[in-house]
A = this chain, B = another copy of it.
Amino acid sequence: MINVLVAGFPGAMGQKVVNMLKAHDDFKLTAIFNPVVLDLDPAEYGLDPDVKVWHSYDEIEDGVADVWVDFTTPKAVAQNIEAAINHGIHPVVGTSGMAADDQKRVIALAAEKHIGGLIAPNFGISAVLLMQFAAQAAKYFPDAEVIEMHHEDKLDAPSGTARATAEMIAKARTAQPRPTTDDPAHGEKIDGVPVHAVRLPGYVAHEQVLFGAPGEALTIRQDSFDRESFMSGVAVAISKVQQLDTLVVGLEHLL
């Protein structure tokens, strides 16, 4: 049984984490960290009355939690991670927007205290596996293109994940790909990999990697239909984070 503290409990992701913990036999929600809502009553949220509710770092008791799941704010996250590490609790962090300096500092602290933890920009397992498989396939198939498809409101194109995938493919190649063209229809070249972005209503978040070689093709595709999907990644992280002894970035370290 793994005891879990949740920070960012009232947020959309925090609530999804609580529901996931309830549904999972091996996890137990034992504590909530919430410096904002001072009179938070666990019973009101349908929680066990013995769940601890802490509002400041001073109140945290050692031994109550093994893992600290953090979906809070860019402002709070670095201090939260420090508090977790100082209490021997393994951080699993989905909060985005931490400053680079802060990230360096908490990684150093974790190394010093020998407390493993995870900071994950993306908890979607299908996206992380797609990137891993693309890097493996690129060793055999140097010719690849990436197509990502998102809802019409996504502002940046291509997506950060598509960009990262192209970079991983370029790095993993062991042979020169064929030259690409400058045609505007032939995608944006990221490290020499054409990347195409589709923006259409109805779509949520999807990515395809296409590999071609004489007489054959390999395609890897992932679809994120719902943010619900990130919970499988959080569950993997909670299960395995205690195996780590440093604070790493990227769910792939636990897959």
List A residues at the B interface (Cβ < 8 Å): 124-126, 129-130, 132-133, 136-137, 139-141, 143-145, 147, 149, 152, 156-158, 162, 178, 180-181, 183-188, 194-204, 210-232, 236, 255
Contacts and interface: CB of A to CB of B under 8 A. Distances in A.
B133 A220 contact: yes
B215 A203 contact: no
Given A133-B220, A140-B129, A143-B152, A214 B185 contact: no
A229 B218 CA distance: 12
A199 B227 contact: no
Smallest CB-CB A-B distances: 6 pairs = A200-B212, A215-B229, A215-B226, A216-B229, A215-B228, A202-B212
Nearest to A124: B216
B210 A216 contact: no
A251 B139 CA distance: 15
A126 B144 CA distance: 13
A140 B186 contact: no
A217 B126 contact: yes
16 contacts: A124-B216, A125-B213, A125-B218, A129-B137, A143-B152, A143-B200, A145-B200, A157-B186, A178-B201, A202-B223, A216-B222, A216-B225, A216-B226, A217-B223, A218-B223, A219-B222
A132 B132 CA distance: 12
A199 to B, nearest CB: 7
A interface secondary structure, majority: mixed
Nearest to A255: B140
Contacts of A201: 143, 178, 212-214
Nearest to A227: B215
A180 to B, nearest CB: 7
Which of A130, A183, A185, A221 has the most B CB atoms < 10 Å from its CB? A185
B221 A202 contact: no
A243 B224 CA distance: 40
Contacts of A210: 149, 198, 200
Contacts of A223: 202, 216-219
A202 B225 contact: yes
B147 A196 contact: yes
Nearest to A130: B218
Given A198-B194, A236-B140, A125 B185 contact: no
A199 B144 CA distance: 9
A199 B186 CA distance: 8
